[in-house]
A and B are shown apart, each in its own frame.
Chain A
Amino acid sequence: MKPFTKKPSAALPGDVCRILEHNEETLYLSLTGRLDASATAQLWTPLLNLVENIAPQLLRVKADAVTYCDGAGIGLLMELARRQLKRQGQYSLNGLKEEIAHLWSQYQPEDFLEIHSTRPQPCCMPEEAGRLVVHAWQSMLDMVRFTGELTLALLHAARHPRSVRWPEVWLVMEKAGVNALFIVGLISFLIGLIMAFQATIPMRQFGVEIYVANLTALSMLRELGPLMTALLLAGRSGSAFAAELGTMKINEEIDALTTMGLAPIPFLVVTRVLATVMIMPLLSLFANLMGLVGGAVVLLSLGYPLITYINQVKAAVNLLDLTGGLAKTLIFALIVAGVGCLYGLKTRSGASAVGDSATRAVVMGIILIVIADGLFAVVYYYLGI
């Protein structure tokens, strides 16, 4: 907000406001004509500065020549009254036309001594820090509770597959999966291509360019295919879930579900989690393939025949590499869908809340995916996969 700018040079518009009398005690003003928003805007600062400089004990305003006075004009009269009240001076306003006097009489200067326009801000660092800690603790509790509820709901769904709303599952699979094919394919292809291309330069020094195939295949299948798919889905679908459920929360649709006896987690979350869990391995498989295609393009351009590349890839990776990578995507899918839905359901009211939820869902989703990937790396290392 702009600070109140004092412009002492701005002259009092004489056609609207004149000083009738001015001594140590009293300032007697007369107002004339239309006091609408534009006239008031011109008058406001000079008039208030004048009154402030003189600081009269009694301020008298003669308003019988005011022909029109809307909310802005009444506001000016009120501001004069309010300032007099604050410095414990007196104020008398007379001659207002009857209709305008009606408007004026609706307000009491005492009511406007203080005006709060913005939200009170929390004050100091310790308070902020305390809030943050409590908030983080609450979020963790929420996440644990949600995980528990989701597990129960998924177990229930596994025992009673008919209770799942499959049409919605297919719909989510289409939106989160089929419609993501292009972006997943493109990114994976480029990653394969770039990785292979960057690797050829050092490899060529040792004359082992063909091992670029090994590098591309291993890193795509074990790491990058699943990871890139998960990150893309976290950005694409995790945020969509959060926004969708968040909007439902704001519109009281979630409350409506609850009162109809439909718990939101089985009704809304299970479908999304199932769909994501089913679609993510498939997407990741596609990503692997596209990554390998990217690598192939590089090796073909170096003059190796395709069959050599394929044989090299076959020798480099085994089934365990592939399945190990795909197994990770199951957990990634749980994270993406779970976090998206959790933040959606946690949305608080307000228009910006949905946006906040979507943002948090993406950030939290990515963090958890990367952590999970690190854990997998350690576990796979000890298992010898």
Chain B
Amino acid sequence: MPESPKTIIKVKNLTVGYGDTIVLRDVSFDVGRGEIFVVLGGSGCGKSTLLKNMIGLYRPRAGQILYDGQDIVTAEGVQRRSLLRSIGVMYQSGALFGSLTLMENVRLPLEEFTDLPDPAMDLIAAMKLQLVGLKDFGHYLPSELSGGMRKRAAIARAMVLDPQILFLDEPTAGLDPITSAEMDQLILQLAESLTMTFVIVTHELPSIFAVADRVIMLDQRAKGIVASGSPAQLRDTSTDPWVRSFFRRETTPVAIQQEDRPPHE
């Protein structure tokens, strides 16, 4: 990891909501290049909402989201397209296209954004599916897969372009611990080899400790960030009761596990 990562995403005084309700108020934080940034918080506190605003899907009430100084909300045309090219998103529900096979789903961003010849796209898509353990399911339709398999296929689609920044909304929820650890491993590897930046929403404590460089915790009542820091900092020093109980719930077994054997073999 770079010691003091240069800021790649700067969120300034962001206020977001739906209709008359405000979900998050006046939130600011920075994400550094190559950093694995984890967003935590109780169910319904606005993590997915924050993510969708960060990728420019919704127009925030107030505030700015700057990618290398460029505001995604106001970017238009070529600028917007090149911004979108540099980010990959996995939605909480997977959002695979139901009428396309897995392979076609994964190929789609390649077709849209690159000039690679056809067999190249097939091969690259197959390689990404292999990374998530789905190589033999390329010709399946999403509806013929289990929930966890869909999730993994969605991860493959999100990272097929090797974007600079990957947003993952609960990538490992519903996966078994072993697959989940493999996904963590994959994330670490991509962050290291390609200096990819990750913004991840997750509740899995083992994942958080395995990958996260920095964590922010959102809260529904405060409508904002109640804690931020490295996972160990939050576990050991936070005074917020929610944060403490969240990390206490499982910290002991995880700590023991991590001492007993390396987290990934």
Contact = CB atoms under 8 A, between A and B. Distances in A.
B143 A350 contact: yes
B72 to A, nearest CB: 21
Interface stretch (B18-26, B114-122, B221-229): B114-122
Contacts of A72: 114, 116, 120, 124, 162
Contacts of B194: 68, 70, 99, 103
A79 B118 contact: no
B128 interface: yes
B117 A4 contact: yes
A103 B98 CA distance: 30
Interface in B82-130: 97-99, 101, 103-104, 107, 110, 113-120, 122-128, 130
Nearest to A355: B99
A4 B117 CA distance: 7
Please indicate which of the listed interface residues B118, B122, B138 has the most CB atoms of chain A within 10 Å of its own CB. Answer: B122
Nearest to B120: A44
B160 interface: yes
A71 B189 CA distance: 13
Interface size class of A (residues with CB under 8 A): 35 or more
A304 interface: no
Determine the main DSSP class of B at the interface with A.
Answer: helix
A79 B127 CA distance: 11
A119 interface: yes
B103 A75 contact: no
Contacts of A111: 130, 135
Given A37-B162, A115-B126, 10 more contacts: A41-B120, A44-B116, A72-B116, A72-B120, A112-B123, A117-B103, A117-B122, A117-B125, A250-B143, A349-B141
A118 B107 CA distance: 12
Contacts of A45: 117
Please indicate which of the listed interface residues B107, B123, B135, B141 has the most CB atoms of chain A within 10 Å of its own CB. Answer: B123
Determine the main DSSP class of A at the interface with B.
Answer: helix
A5 B103 CA distance: 21
Contact of B104 (A40, A41, A117): A117
A17 interface: no
A194 interface: no
Contacts of B161: 37, 71
Contacts of B193: 99-100, 102-103
Contacts of B116: 37, 40-41, 44, 72
A156 to B, nearest CB: 34
Please indicate which of the listed interface residues A45, A71, A119 has the most CB atoms of chain B within 10 Å of its own CB. Answer: A71
Interface residues of B, number: 40
Interface string B190-229: 0011100000000000000000000000000000000000
Given A78-B123, A115-B122, A116-B138, A102 B114 contact: no
Interface in B38-75: none
Interface string A1-14: 11111000000000
Given A117-B122, A118-B103, A352 B138 contact: no
A106 B131 contact: yes
A107 B135 CA distance: 11
Given A68-B194, A71-B124, A4 B144 contact: no
20 contacts: A3-B118, A37-B114, A44-B117, A70-B162, A71-B160, A72-B162, A75-B123, A78-B127, A99-B194, A107-B130, A112-B123, A112-B126, A112-B130, A116-B103, A117-B138, A118-B101, A119-B101, A349-B141, A349-B144, A351-B143
A352 B98 contact: yes
A195 to B, nearest CB: 43
B244 interface: no
Given A72-B162, A112-B127, A117-B122, A350 B141 contact: yes
Contacts of B99: 350-352
B248 interface: no
A290 to B, nearest CB: 41
A252 to B, nearest CB: 11
Contact of A118 (B104, B123, B162, B192): B104
Interface string A75-94: 11011001000000000000
B115 A41 contact: yes
B132 to A, nearest CB: 11
B127 A41 contact: no
A107 to B, nearest CB: 6
B119 A79 contact: yes
Interface string B140-157: 011110000000000000
Contacts of B101: 117-119
Contacts of A348: 143
Contacts of A350: 98-99, 141-143
Interface in A41-61: 41-42, 44-45
Contacts of A351: 97-99, 143
B99 to A, nearest CB: 5
Interface string A340-371: 00000000111111000000000000000000
